Amino acid sequence: MPLRLTELFNNVAFTGPDTLGNGRLNVWGNSLPIGTLPTGRIRVSGVEFDVAAPDGVAPDNVRCTGQLVHLPDGTAADWLHLLVTSERRCEETVHLHYASGAVDPEWIRVSDFWPATGHFGEVLAARSAGMHYPHHIQPDLGGQVWSVRVPAVRREPLRSVRLPDNAALHLFALTVEGVR
């Protein structure tokens, strides 16, 4: 079940040539070119995601600062699939809130957006042809978006997900998969 995250968007990760100064993937104002990540309903490694269309002005991702993502009542979940990138390699904890009141911490591990092989076995979801800086475009340095998954091990409905408090981590899309 792909979720819409647009109400939580608080950051600009994708820019065009006329909006370079709006990028905020890191403290230096880097961003990825609009079009790096396909938009609408997309499939990455067999998983469907809903990806919002960026315009280089409005926020297009969730910069993780401990937000609570509410799920529809009765959501059966075995896996959370996330399209993410990170300013630097990160290992953080998401907290899964279940219908019974139980809260389980689970690891999310994400390699950084600079061009390299994924450190944690992530699936490459998208790679840009260049990197945007606030005042120029560097065409020979690409950025990356990763597909990662987080287990939901309890056999009960999942109510919400507390994202990590790490501003280096950027979430573009979230899909809940139930396979029971």
CATH number for 8: 2.60.120
Q: Is 122 helix (H, G, I), strand (E, B) or coil?
A: coil
Domain assignment of residue 47, given as a range: 2-177
* Predicted TM-score (pTM) above 0.75: yes
Cβ atoms of 3 and 175 within 8 Å: the answer is yes
Whole-number Å distance between alpha carbons of 138 and 30: 10
Which residues of the chain carry a pLDDT beneath 50? none
Cβ atoms of 147 and 83 within 8 Å: the answer is yes
Whole-number Å distance between alpha carbons of 141 and 68: 34
The 10s digit of each residue's pLDDT in 70-116 is 999 888 999 999 999 998 899 999 999 999 999 999 999 999 888 78
Cβ atoms of 22 and 32 within 8 Å: the answer is no
**Total domains in the fold of the chain:** 1
Distance of CA 50 to the CA centre of its chain: 11
